[in-house]
Structure 1
Amino acid sequence: MKNVTYSKYLATTALLLLLTVSCKQKTDQTVAAAPELPNVVLLLGDDHGWDETGYNGHPYLHTPVLDEIAATGLRMDRFYSASPVCSPTRGSIITGRHPNRYGTFTPGYSIRPEEISVADLMKEAGYATAHYGKWHLGPVKASSPTNPAAMGFDEYLSHDNFFEMDPPLSDNGAEPVIFPGESSEILVREAQQFMDQALEEGKPFFVVIWYGSPHEPYSGLAEDLALYENLPEDFGDRMVRLTSNETGAPVERLQREVLQERFAEITAMDRSIGQLRNYLSEKGQRENTLLWYFGDNGTPQEANATVPFREQKGSVYEGGIRVPAVLEWPAKLSQPLVSDASLVSSDVLPTLCSLLGIPLPERPMDGLDISPVFEGKMDQRPTPIGFWNGRPRNGGEGLEPYIAAELQKGTTPLVKLMNGIATRNFRNYRHPDIQEADFSGDRAWLDYPYKLVIHGKTGEDTTRELFDLSTDPSEERNLYAAQPERVGTMEQELRNWQQSVLESLTGADY
């Protein structure tokens, strides 16, 4: 009896062992077959225009790191910021939606708490998420309902607005603390500590670094300033208006001297990107890290010396919205690519969702999945892009605040004073209905190669233009009168899109 029982025991044990080995092999095979989630790092320059890189032909600027990424990764030659100013573009990156949908019309307007953030989605997918640098979508203090933590970031070291050398930054909503040194390098250094922690925990990381550079007022390290001390006498030979680092008030200076400082900031920012890439290489993460850099709007007026397009920051012409953009992901982009498709900052969220198999939020999206560009399979954008410098009705007069004023008060100081104050407050308004006046404001409809531009209100006092960007990238020849059928179609498409945006603005998506 004992022998029979023992034999059964041996047989049962052998079977269990076989099943265990078999299950382990299947599990190992499943793990091996499962795609490894890539790390994602989004980098954003502040007021960095299309012309201000070596790879785009700037005659004096040194941007060796961006130039290398452009030469070995994906160079996006026709990339646009969703807005010609900073806060709205940042909102488009976070949401994949045009910023007018949630009232982030221009700098000083916050995002809304109900918006679904790319960081929310990445966190749900298993990512460790962090934000560093300029936020500008609401106060970064702990009580703010629109701070980076409220928008899905596990950690943040951020500023309400822009900053220069020795930046005052808030660590997860705490009172701001001065971080001595060059701000771009500081952000990358601090971000590396978070990446170390994520790697120790076995998590992929989603890190957003929004630089304070090269936004004015300008400052730079001595070694960076020295690179530009011999700019030609005929370059930047005019007076420009910007902020004084000494007083925080407006001042007029020779543009050539201003550009020396601005170029020093851009070079330092470029160097910090190189430091980040070196870190990723040392940690064995470079191959499977998607690193994406672009600017948040066109070149500002005080820096406009080499812009090849019409106008500058603040304008829906090309000079205000066309920005430098490069991307690398060695594991997937093994060959250099150059894309001339029309791409926009709103595309970030849909593209990441597509790459990671994350369902898109069930609400109107303005960006689209541009991952086919990574494989050279999308030569032209399948849908138009809308641009719109909207404003709250009557400047917000008579509208109810969306968020209590106390929660919208900023805390992180900056050099540039406004009404004698070194901090910035935010606002957002409820729009209970849609009125005809709400459709006004400078707007554009880009269906490449054609671009429709409309200025002013919605009545007869509007200025309308149509350009063929393939032959007229500087937007000098107005084809509006010559192509009535085309402009009729584009105007109707623009109007329909504005209607959708305004419906979102009323809160219909929530």
Structure 2
Amino acid sequence: MGDDHGWEETGYNNHPFVKTPFLDEMAASGLRLDNFYAQPVCSPTRGNVLTGRHPNRYGIFTPGRSIRPQEITVAHLLRDVGYATGHFGKWHVGPVKQGSPTNPGAMGFEEWLSHDNFFEMDPVLSRNGGPPKPFYGESSEILIDELINYIEKKQQSDAPFFTVVWFGSPHEPYSGMETDLALYRDLPERYGDVTVSLTSNETGLRVKRPLRDVLMERYAEITAMDRSIGKLRNALKTLGLRDNTLLWYCGDNGIPRSGLRESQFRGQKGKLYENGIRVPGLIEWPSGIPKPQVSTVNAVTSDMLPTLCTLAGAKTPDVPLDGVDLVPLIKGTMKQRKSPIMFWSFRPQGEESAKPYIASELQEGTTPLVKQMRGLFTRNFKNYHHPEIRETDFLGARAILTDDYKLVIDGDEKSGAELFDLKQDIGETNNLAEAHPELVVQLSVQLRQWQESVMNSLMEQDYDRPKSQNQAPPQR
């Protein structure tokens, strides 16, 4: 998963500048998910991937929120049916240190080389919760080299493997290798007339720079990440594992303001319009997807858990899930999603008097990053017991996406209800709410009913259920 990698920033989606030859190869040979979605910001999407559940169900409302220790992850479920499990790169749902109840080990990963948040060139990473250590080089390549070593080790022990690689790229602040930067020296001069705010690699504080220089570095990071994905694909081929290894790539949210140029989409990272939530989505699996496919069925990061559980012979947990099994889509028999996808930017209130879910010392991060926040170059996390359900809890930007329409409520401040037909209006410029008031009511009711289910989960009602037992051995 790329960090802040938006839907348009790939060659196969016809970006005029970005070069992604290996993602393009995956798109040409596997399953291209053209309507693939994530949450509008990073920590919520990572919780979404791990649990198959909307992150508001367990308090990951915004970046820097930790997951709750009771959550059952896809790593738990696949590990229980015999898969080796490894995590590499950005974590961002709790500290990665030893003793953290929400580190990758506690969340089902047997081995990890991870960072509490994002990272740049020469990242400082923690191996299996140990003291952070610097690794020198391009960060995407470092992660893939470590992953290949892990896969080789597991192949020797004849263990099937489930691995998660969450890159630090192309999240700002941006940097790149000279060979990658050289690919983008000829970006149009007009971008030099626009100034954007982002983090300084030198001070860790905000700085204003010409968009042209920023895009050059951002695109260089994407190309380096793409090249690392190509290195992984080649390694799987060399090891004789490529045919029966499923490789799933996506972004974690849309393009941030610092990387935004002209776009056919509305919004940006953090918004529920398409530029905030639509991301690249690709599945390559030669033995399972022998012919290239392009799908416009709506899919989302919460679909990963139920899909992978089906393929691995693992039962899903007995808690409310928000994802659906995409195996029929992979097999080419799923033409519509039928169940809607929900989005909700929750507005936490009164947390200063709420009871912390995890002791503060266990929420302190250790892996440094470039960006300074509140005087720190590390990141701390938080999660709270929600005291009670209040009517004001149901506010905040929210959206429901069906096969035919998308309803956005308060997507911008006081924007009210907006209804879009994305098949005809991908830029979300034509609000159909007044023309279809009955549909607005119908979708609003569905959205509210789902919100009530989410609030019940936030109030910890799901944790009284027993963990599901897995039933089948892994397939190699």
SS in 2 for 1:157: strand
Deviations 1:2-21 (A, max 9, x none): xxxxxxxxxxxxxxxxxxxx
1:503 aligns with 2:459: no
Q: Which of 338, 342, 356 pairs up with 1:401?
A: 356
Q: Which of 7, 31, 35 pairs up with 1:78?
A: 35
SS in 2 for 1:397: helix
Instruction: Using the TM superposition, give the Cα deviation of residue 236 of structure 1 relative to its aligned residue in structure 2, in angstroms.
Output: 5.5
Instruction: Using the TM superposition, give the Cα deviation of residue 457 of structure 1 relative to its aligned residue in structure 2, in angstroms.
Output: 12
CA separation in 2, counterparts of 1:237 and 1:136? 35
1:438 aligns with 2:393: yes
Whether contact under 8 Å (2:338, 2:403) holds in the other structure is: no
CA separation in 2, counterparts of 1:170 and 1:483? 53
Instruction: Using the TM superposition, give the Cα deviation of residue 462 of structure 1 relative to its aligned residue in structure 2, in angstroms.
Output: 6.5
Q: Which of 281, 287, 292 pairs up with 1:325?
A: 281
Q: Which of 365, 370, 384 pairs up with 2:326?
A: 370
Partner of 2:43: 87
CA separation in 2, counterparts of 1:426 and 1:228? 37
Instruction: Using the TM superposition, give the Cα deviation of residue 438 of structure 1 relative to its aligned residue in structure 2, in angstroms.
Output: 0.8
Q: 1:95–1:249: structure 2 CA closer, same or farther, 3 Å change rule? A: same
CA separation in 1, counterparts of 2:127 and 2:307? 29
Whether contact under 8 Å (2:271, 2:411) holds in the other structure is: no
CA separation in 2, counterparts of 1:275 and 1:311? 33
Letter in 1 for 2:20: T
Q: Could you say what the CA RMSD is over the residues aligned between the two structures, in angstroms?
A: 1.3
Letter in 2 for 1:202: D
1:356 aligns with 2:304: no
Deviations 1:239-260 (A, max 9, x none): 0000000111100000000000
Instruction: List alignment gaps of at least 5 residues for structure 1.
Output: 1-43
SS in 1 for 2:406: strand
Q: 1:227–1:483: structure 2 CA closer, same or farther, 3 Å change rule? A: same
CA separation in 2, counterparts of 1:244 and 1:457? 29
Q: Which moved more, 1:244-253 or 1:371-380?
A: 371-380
CA separation in 2, counterparts of 1:465 and 1:118? 35
Partner of 2:337: 381
CA separation in 2, counterparts of 1:467 and 1:223? 43
1:414 aligns with 2:394: no
Whether contact under 8 Å (2:184, 2:216) holds in the other structure is: yes
CA separation in 1, counterparts of 2:193 and 2:58? 42
Deviations 1:414-470 (A, max 9, x none): 000002210010000101321101101100011122111111899xx6611111111
| Structure 1 segment 11-22 matched on structure 2, within 5 A | none
CA separation in 2, counterparts of 1:339 and 1:61? 23
- TM-score norm. by structure 1 comes to 0.89
SS in 2 for 1:227: helix
Letter in 2 for 1:499: E
Q: Which of 60, 63, 69 pairs up with 2:20?
A: 63
1:290 aligns with 2:246: yes
Whether contact under 8 Å (1:214, 1:266) holds in the other structure is: yes
- TM-score norm. by structure 2 comes to 0.96
Partner of 1:34: none
Whether contact under 8 Å (2:244, 2:287) holds in the other structure is: yes
1:310 aligns with 2:269: no
| Structure 1 segment 326-345 matched on structure 2, within 5 A | 326-345=282-301
Q: 1:49–1:456: structure 2 CA closer, same or farther, 3 Å change rule? A: closer
Q: Which moved more, 1:98-107 or 1:300-309?
A: 300-309
Instruction: Using the TM superposition, give the Cα deviation of residue 481 of structure 1 relative to its aligned residue in structure 2, in angstroms.
Output: 1.3
Whether contact under 8 Å (1:236, 1:305) holds in the other structure is: no
Letter in 2 for 1:413: P
Whether contact under 8 Å (2:81, 2:313) holds in the other structure is: no
| Bigger Rg over Cα | 1
Partner of 1:135: 91
Instruction: Using the TM superposition, give the Cα deviation of residue 307 of structure 1 relative to its aligned residue in structure 2, in angstroms.
Output: 2.7
Letter in 1 for 2:6: G
Partner of 1:5: none
Q: 1:60–1:456: structure 2 CA closer, same or farther, 3 Å change rule? A: closer
Instruction: List alignment gaps of at least 5 residues for structure 2.
Output: 464-476
Identity %: 60
Q: Which moved more, 1:477-486 or 1:243-252?
A: 477-486
CA separation in 1, counterparts of 2:233 and 2:411? 45
Letter in 2 for 1:411: T
SS in 2 for 1:130: strand
CA separation in 2, counterparts of 1:405 and 1:392? 18
1:481 aligns with 2:434: yes
